[in-house]
Amino acid sequence: MIIPQKIIVDTKLVVLECSDAVQLFWGLEKGMSLFDVFCEDICLAYQKYISAAEIASFSFSNKQVFALKEELIALDNDHYEIKITLPLSVYTALSAERIQFLNELPIAASIQNRSGEILYANQKSQAVYGRTEEIVGSGSGDARWRVQNQKGEDLSHGLLPTIRAIKENKPLQDEVIAVYNPQKKDRIWLQVNCTPLHFKGVIPAHAVQCVFTEITESVKLNYKYKRFLAEKDFIIKLSNGLLQNSNTDFHLQQQFVINEIGKHCQADAAFILDVTSLNKERPHIASFFKDEALSSLKKVIVDSFTFSPSTLESYWLEKANYKIDRISLEEDKNDHLAVLAENNIESLLYLPLIVGTEVIALIMLYRKINGRSFKENDQYLLNRVAELLYSLYRQSLASHRIKESEERYRALFYNSGMGKLILDDHHFIDCNKTAADLLEYSVEELIGKHPSEISPQFQHNGESSKKLSETQIAQVLKGEDQSFEWVHLSSQGKEVTVKVHLSTLSTTGKTTILVSWLDISQERRNEDQLLRLHTAVENSPVSMVITNTKAEIEYVNPAVLKITGYTSEELMGKNPRIFQSGNTPANHYREMWASLSSKKEWHGIFHNKRKNGEFYWERVHISPIIKANGKLTHYLAVKEDITLFKQYLEALEKQNNTFKEIAWTESHVLRAPLARLLGLLQFFQEKDFDAEMNEQKVLNLMEESALEMDAIINAISKKTYEQRLSQELLKENPFKF
């Protein structure tokens, strides 16, 4: 097939018009000179024929140039038309010999024209590209190829090696590019060699022959090594930056990390979604934006997730990482991707940070669609950063726990009901209000003092307070906790007894002493009081018996043992009825139990029996012992031996009877002789004597009456003297009577 082509030039061979094929294959355009395209011999031949004005038209065949027919036709206004006739096989650069040569090559090969259109591709190239459809006729600038350079940047049409080889009109050796392979669903790396193809006598190439070898594994290994070194340096730099900000809040550290990784990975946006801080199903987000105009992506991406523990675990625990690009948006279907696709968000790289079975954070990088896609090195870097974040998370968790522990310690220290103090270099450097109040100091007054300064000169055991305190401090600094009693002095000079516990407290590499005070002053006062009470009870002449509610004896004082003759062992656990003699009326006991059952006191008198069988009298007072909660626990019986008192009463009664007898005697026995004497005296005064009652007889009778009275009076005097003597003895010692 013959295709004639037309070029119109002026006398200087400047192109005024040309056909499309000439533009396509030779690169000749309007305004260019033929000298830019054709060899000098052709151009000089054109000028020679143009200068021969008498020749209207001519044709020639130059085997050195085209070996084909050309015509130069003169037009009006010094314009000339050049007709060039070439077969189609010449324009397509597809000779039978070249096709056979390409097919016999052991590697992939193809031919492309100046526009990048593939004119021919052998079978091996079809396999390398991973395409089943016919690729002849498609252009290397087709978006489906997604060609990138080694930097991961998309290559525009003009930067493709084939187009550059044609434009630069020179071979290109060992060019490395990446193209998308649909069978592998990823880009593959090719090493390309491009050779421009020329017509004889034409300077520009009209096509390019490409041979290429897949070097994906080699590139990846080399790239991995280089990126490993780069990522290693980056991680070291990132770690150093975190160390310099080790006391910074965890979320600020996350912000620092995402800023650095966003810049290092040349991401357009980057996020750390901290799902441990979920609040109403929204995470805390640390974000980086290369351009603030992209900040709207943050809401779209976050809204594409349902942030709940169950969703996160079910979606992420099975994924080491997750990459989203145009392919996954087209081929994978889920609600998350649908939201992203609707908002034209592509080229995302996610990595879940998982601790155990819990997702604690998501790291995400975003690049615009026309930027380079994410590679294995990006995933590698995210994994290293995840390890760093995990370490930060552990540190943050530990720091949080330490902070909580410190807060709890401070709360326990300052709010404790016990006195708490800290000793450093033998002086108090801190204390709580309880300790200060205990000694009636302010906190400020107590801090800075040595323990001996708030103690008496000597402790109760006679040792020096200063010397003893130094000894205790030395012992605890050896790692031996100390517990002991100590007497301090309040600011008012009052003794305060405390139970002291000393233990070491290590913070920030320094050892101090934690001092705990328990005020036992009241306890010691109670013990002293109990001791006095115990002494009084033990030495009391009054019997004291304590029983439980079952009336089983639990305590007796020595007076009980002395009065009853029993031993303590014989009485423990026994019922007090062991003392009964059988002489106390039964109603006494009924009345007693009626009162005690009502938790009331009872008092009365018992006639009891000693162990040796002797009887004795006791005045008894029994009180119920009741706890503060109203529960009856014991009975206390206070008993007094009144046997001698009973005997004293009997002696007094006997004296009373004697005095009654004397009084009766005075009033009855003495009256008879006194009456006779008074009658005889009256008879004698009247001198009414007779033979039977003469004067002498009356005097004799009066003498008899007087003597009788004297005898009676002597007897009364004797009895009265005896009773008075007995009464004096009773008064001196009634219980010996």
Residue-wise pLDDT for 578-622, tens only, equals 999 988 888 888 999 999 989 999 999 999 999 999 999 999 999
pLDDT at 129 > cutoff 60: yes
pLDDT-derived band at 3 (thresholds 50, 70, 90) equals: low
Position 43 in a domain: yes
Are 354 and 438 in a shared domain?
no
Same domain, 297 and 373: yes
Q: Is the overall model pTM greater than 0.75, yes or no?
A: no
**Is 607 found in the same domain as 559?**
yes
How many Å apart are CA 216 and CA 340, to the nearest integer? 30
**Are residue 600 and residue 721 in the same domain, yes or no?**
no
Report pLDDT for 463.
92
> Do 130 and 145 belong to one domain?
yes
Residue range of the domain that includes 138: 93-214
Pairing of strands 69-74, 57-61: antiparallel
pLDDT in tens, 516-528: 999 998 888 888 8
Spatial contact of 422 and 432, defined as CB atoms under 8 Å apart: no
Q: Is residue 229 part of a domain?
A: no
- Report the alpha-carbon distance of residue 560 to residue 643 in Å, rounded: 14
Summarised one tens digit per residue, pLDDT across range 181-193 is: 887 777 888 888 9
Enter the tokens of residue 658: 């004697």
Identify whether 78 is part of a domain.
yes
Neighbours of 515 (CB within 10 A): 24
- Detail the DSSP E strand segments found in 434-527: 482-489, 495-507, 510-519
619 in the same domain as 653? no
Complete edge-to-edge strand list for the sheet that includes strand 80-87: 15-18, 2-9, 80-87, 69-74, 57-61
Write the pLDDT tens digit of every residue in 342-371: 655 666 777 777 776 677 777 878 777 555
What's the CATH code of the domain at 12?
3.30.450.20
Residue corresponding to tokens 């040309």: 18
Q: Report the pLDDT averaged over residues 497-503.
A: 93
Pick from 90, 123, 158: which residue ends a domain? 90
Confirm whether 225 is domain-assigned: no
Sort 300 into a burial class: Cβ within 10 Å, 0-12 / 13-18 / 19+: middle
How many independent structural domains does the chain possess? Answer: 6
Tokens of 491: 């600011």
422 and 383 part of one domain? no
Instruction: Give tens-digit pLDDT for 293-337.
Output: 777 777 776 666 655 555 555 444 444 445 555 444 444 455 555
- Regarding whether 52 and 155 lie in a shared domain, the answer is no
For residues 85-99, average pLDDT: 60
Tell me the pLDDT tens digit for each residue of 141-172. 666 777 888 777 778 877 888 888 888 888 98
Nearest residue to 85 (alpha-carbon basis) of 23, 187, 5, 167? 5
Same domain assignment for residues 155 and 24: no
The Cα–Cα gap between 196 and 401 comes to 70
Q: Are 346 and 370 in contact (CB under 8 A)?
A: no
